[in-house]
DNA sequence: CCGGATCCTATTTGATACTG
DNA sequence: CAGTATCAAATAGGATCCGG
């Protein structure tokens, strides 16, 4: 049994999944590989996500220390940018492997029926 | 929007997560890298998982074609073995990366407080 | 030994409206 | 622009018992 950021995990794989699991976290992280993004930029890229859900997932990613939030108070149109932390960048190989496997599965096994 | 095995995914990363996501799937898959395992062998290795949950996750992994189930009817003590399919074996690099990152996070960032 | 069936709880996600 | 609040729905996961 392992502990990370106050949560318990039965296995080192589930620890990682606790950080990147959930419906949207890998999607957010994958977009952030390309650099900083604002809240609304993320939202538009992600299409069907709701404000609340995006907000929650961003908070959790911050709590686990893989993304950071920068606020620019310059002028009334508030500006907030999200980006990977150095720690978060160590996830990039995994994220890319996950994206590649998704593509691979689509190309090679999408049409198969469950007939085995 | 992508489709795989009858389910919809907004991104190729979420497709992969749909297959390996959930609290126990990576744990199951990770143990199966080492070879075939019986239901009870898995259960013992996994400690806190309940019968129902293990059963469900195994079914879902089968439906997605990444593991296979072999039944040996030889004698009343039923014997069922689970193992990775060829398709499932393409997940091994991801699973090992996930396990390694979990270890890495434990060693390097476990003690940190959320004080950023 | 291997799970299916049933019931229940907890967590996650979504819809919608509203605010500094 | 970048969220938060509130409510409801969906999903995941657990406890327990039972049967082939």
Total tally of structural domains belonging to chain B:
1
Structure tokens, B93: 């690099």
pLDDT at B61 > cutoff 80: yes
Does the distance separating the beta carbons of A10 and B27 come in below 8 Å?
A: yes
Q: In this structure, is residue A114 part of a structural domain?
A: no
What is the length of chain B? Answer: 116
pLDDT of res. B76: 74
Q: Is residue A10 part of a domain?
A: yes
Domain assignment of residue A104, given as a range: 2-109
pLDDT tens digits for range B39-58: 999 999 998 999 999 999 99
> Which one-letter DSSP state was computed for residue B68?
E
Quick check: is B115 in a domain?
no
Burial A91-110 (b: 16+ CB within 10 A, else e): beebbebbbebbeebbeeee
Q: Which residue has the tokens 């434990």?
A: B106
- Inside any domain, residue B49: yes
Checking each nucleotide's C1' against the CA of A82, the nearest proves to be D2
In a domain, A116, yes or no: no
Task: Tell whether A40 is covered by a domain.
Answer: yes
E-state strands within A1-116: 2-4, 7-9, 37-38, 67-72, 79-84
- DSSP-derived letter for residue B36 is -
Note the pLDDT tens digit of each residue in A40-90: 999 999 989 999 999 999 999 999 999 999 999 877 788 999 999 999 999
φ, ψ at A37 (rounded to 5°): -140, 145
Chain B residue numbers touching A104 (CB-CB < 8 A): 90
- The pair phi, psi for residue A108, each rounded to 5°, is -105, -20
Average predicted confidence (pLDDT) for chain A: 92
pLDDT at position B114, please?
Answer: 42
Residue B82 lies inside a defined structural domain of this protein: yes
For the beta carbon of residue B13, count every other beta carbon within 10 angstroms: 27
Quick one: pLDDT at residue B112? 53
Which residue has 């003590």 as its token pair? B77
Nearest CA in chain B to A4: B110
Residue A12: give its domain's CATH number.
1.10.10.10
Does a structural domain hold residue A58? yes
> Does residue B6 surpass a pLDDT of 90?
no
How many angstroms separate the CA atoms of A34 and A37, rounded? 9
Tell me the nearest-neighbour CA distance from B75 into chain A, angstroms.
24
């Amino acid at each position: 049994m392992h502990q990370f950021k106050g949560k318990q995990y039965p296995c080192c794989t589930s620890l990682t999944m606790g950080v990147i699991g959930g419906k949207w976290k890998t999607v957010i992280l994958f977009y952030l590989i390309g650099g900083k993004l604002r809240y609304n930029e993320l939202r538009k890229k992600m299409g069907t996500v709701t404000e609340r859900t995006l907000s929650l997932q961003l908070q959790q990613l911050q709590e686990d220390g893989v993304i950071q939030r920068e606020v620019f108070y310059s002028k009334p149109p508030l500006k907030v940018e999200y980006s990977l932390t150095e720690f978060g960048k160590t996830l990039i190989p995994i994220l890319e492997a996950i994206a590649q496997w998704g593509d691979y599965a689509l190309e090679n096994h999408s049409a198969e029926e469950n007939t085995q």
